[in-house]
Amino acid sequence: MDKKKREIIKRIEKLVDPYRVTKGKGFRLKDIDPGDTGGLGSDQKPRAKELLAQGVQRMAEEQDKFYADDRHSMLLVFQAMDAAGKDGTISHVMSGVNPQGCQVYSFKQPSAEELDHDFMWRYQRCLPERGRIGIYNRSYYEEVLVVRVHKELLERQKMPRNLVTRNIWGERLEDIAGFERYLARQGTVVLKFFLHVSRKEQKRRFLERLEMPEKNWKFSSADVTERGYWRDYMAAYEDAIRATASREAPWYVIPADNKWFTRLVVAAVIVEAFWKLELAYPRVDDAKKKELAAVRKALMGEKK
């Protein structure tokens, strides 16, 4: 890696490290302030936007090599409470990447067919191929979040009764951690983002959705009902992060009260992950070089 890149990586690490969780033990959600902007004042917002644009550009370059290399896959998991900015973050951060190498899946309430399978089934079917980025807008983590907060959802999953014990959430988390370890061992880079918005900022954004006609469509009364379960959700998130944070599948708990900061950190995490792979375009061997030279000569020799 060249010197300039190493310097940028150092700066990226400084920005990202406070939010990276690779070891669950001792992690507490309340140690991360949703309003944190990493020491950047709101006067630095334009600078942050510039840096984001640079990040998006770098991501595009790396994705091209990633696709050509065709060995790793990248799975980006986005989890958050409503109005934390998942959709906007995904569209801003991924704005520069080639759509051919990237797929976004949004997971909603499961269908009857999906409920007829084990919980991982529907998520497993959408995993990214080698050389591609897969984005999960909500994910298998809902199985230990919304399903845990609303236990009646578990009833609908048609599990054999003797398997539904008090340990079920611990067991699911263990299976998720095992699944992610498996993916990592297969060459999938697994990055998990929890966009950590405060209850107060969520209220402000809901009110905005109610007040601004062009945002009305985003408003759902169900979201306000879910807000009533805030503490249960936070407990479920904390437990999930503790049980599944690892070096091979880290969590990034990103302050989400300021969208410009959220987007900058997410982009930085992805660029860092790409750079650590030290990607290069596949080398062309001598036989292939000869072939290319011959084709070139033939093309040049054509009359028209």
Contact footprint for ligand ATP (CB under 6 A): 82, 87, 106-110, 138, 142-143, 146-147, 153, 220
Pair 6, 227: CB distance under 8 Å? no
Two tokens, residue 161: 């009764």
**Pick 82 or 180: Cβ nearer Mg ion:** 82
Q: Considering CB distances under 5 to 8 angstroms, the limit depending on partner class, which of Mg ion, ligand ATP, none binds residue 138?
A: ligand ATP
**Pick 165 or 225: Cβ nearer ligand ATP:** 225
Instruction: Tell me the closest approach of the beta carbon of residue 186 to ligand ATP, in angstroms.
Output: 24
**Pick 82 or 257: Cβ nearer Mg ion:** 82
The footprint of Mg ion on residues 278-297 (CB under 5 A) is none
Instruction: Tell me the closest approach of the beta carbon of residue 171 to ligand ATP, in angstroms.
Output: 16
Is 142 a binding residue for Mg ion by CB under 5 A? The answer is no
Is 82 a binding residue for Mg ion by CB under 5 A? The answer is yes
Q: Considering CB distances under 5 to 8 angstroms, the limit depending on partner class, which of ligand ATP, Mg ion, none binds residue 146?
A: ligand ATP
Q: Considering CB distances under 5 to 8 angstroms, the limit depending on partner class, which of ligand ATP, Mg ion, none binds residue 60?
A: none
The footprint of Mg ion on residues 210-249 (CB under 5 A) is none
Q: Considering CB distances under 5 to 8 angstroms, the limit depending on partner class, which of ligand ATP, Mg ion, none binds residue 201?
A: none
Q: Where on the chain is the footprint of Mg ion (CB under 5 A)?
A: 82
